[in-house]
Amino acid sequence: MQPTPQASGHQAARAPVQGPGAAPPHPRDVLLGAQAQTGFLPVCDHYSGVEARMRKSLQLQAEMTQEFGTCVFDVTLDCEDGAPVGLEADHARLVASLAVGAAPGARVAARVHPVDHPAFASDVATIVGEAGHRLSHLMVPKVESVDDVLKAERALEKASATPPPLHVLIESPAAVHRAFEIAAHPRVQSLSFGLMDFVSAHGGAIPAEGMTSAGQFSHPLVVRAKLEIAAACHAHGKVPSHCVVTEFTDAAAMQGAASRAARELGYTRMWSIHPAQIRPILQAFAPRQDDIEIASKIIAAAAHADWAPISFEGVLHDRASYRFYWQVLERAHRTGRTLPLGVRHWFDAPASVLL
pLDDT of residue 248: 83
pLDDT of residue 6: 36
Mean pLDDT taken over the chain: 90
Q: Could you tell me the fold of the domain covering 40-285?
A: TIM Barrel (3.20.20)
Of the candidates 138, 181, 140, the one whose C-alpha atom is nearest the C-alpha of residue 162 is 138
pLDDT of residue 295: 96
Phi/psi at 37 (5° precision): -80, -20
Name the residue type at position 352: S
Q: Which of 30-34, 65-69, 92-96 has the highest mean pLDDT?
A: 92-96
The ranges assigned to domains in the chain are: 40-285, 288-352
| Half-sphere exposure of residue 225: CA atoms within 13 angstroms, side-chain side | 30
pLDDT digit string (tens) for 41-50?
A: 999 999 999 9
pLDDT digit string (tens) for 34-71?
A: 555 455 799 999 999 999 999 999 999 999 999 998 89
Say what the pTM is: 0.86
pLDDT of residue 224: 98
pLDDT digit string (tens) for 177-231?
A: 999 999 999 999 999 999 999 999 999 999 999 999 889 999 999 999 999 999 9
pLDDT(4) > 50: no
Query: Three-class SS string for the chain?
Result: CCCCCCCCCHHHCCCCCCCCCCCCCCHHHHHCHHHHHCCCCCCEEEEECCHHHHHHHHHHHHHHHHHHCCCCEEEEEECCCCCCCCCHHHHHHHHHHHHHCCCCCCCEEEECCCCCCCCHHHHHHHHHHHHHHHEEEEEECCCCCHHHHHHHHHHHHHHCCCCCCEEEEECCHHHHHCHHHHHHCCCEEEEEECHHHHHHCCCCCCCHHHHCCCHHHCCHHHHHHHHHHHHHHHHCCCEEEECCCCCCCCHHHHHHHHHHHHHCCCCCEEEECCHHHHHHHHHHHCCCHHHHHHHHHHHHHHHHCCCCCEEECCEEECHHHHHHHHHHHHHHHHCCCCCCHHHHHHHHCHHHCCC
pLDDT(98) > 90: yes
Beta carbons within 8 Å of 281's beta carbon, 6+ residues apart = 43, 44, 73, 254, 258, 270, 272
